Structure 1
Amino acid sequence: MSHLVEEMAYVGRTPWHGLGNQLDSGQPLDVWARQAGLNWSIEESPVQFPVVDGEGNEELASVPGSKVLYRSDNQAPLSVVGDRFNVVQPEEVLEFYRDLTEISGFELETAGSLKGGRKLWALARTGQSTTLKGGDQTDAYVLLATACDGSMATTAQFTSVRVVCNNTLAVAVNGAGGAVKVKHSTQFDAEAVKKQLGISVTAWDEFMYRLKTLSDRKVKDREAQDFYRELFTDIPGQPAGKTNERAMKQALSMFEGNGTGSQLASSNGTAYGLVNAVTEFIDHERRAKSVDHRLDSAWFGNGAAIKERAFEKALALAA
Structure 2
Amino acid sequence: MDRIAVLVPCWNEVLTIEKVVKDFKRVLPEAVIYVYDNNSTDGTAELAIRAGAVVRHEYRQGKGNVIRSMFRDIDADCYVMVDGDDTYSAENARDMVNLVLEGKADMVIGDRLSSTYFEENKRPFHNSGNVLVRRFINMFWGENACEIKDVMTGYRALSPMFVKTFPILSKGFEIETEMTIHALDKNLLLANVPVTYRDRPKGSVSKLHTFRDGIKVLKTIFMLYKDYRPLRFFSITALLLAFISLILFIPVFHEYMVTGLVPKMPTLVTSGFFMMAALVSFGIGLVLDTEVKNARKNLEIQMNMIRILLRKS
Q: TM-score, normalised by structure 2?
A: 0.29
**Which of the two has greater helix per residue?**
2
**Which of the two has greater strand per residue?**
1
Larger radius of gyration: 2
Pick 1 or 2: higher relative contact order, CA cutoff 8 A, min separation 6. 2
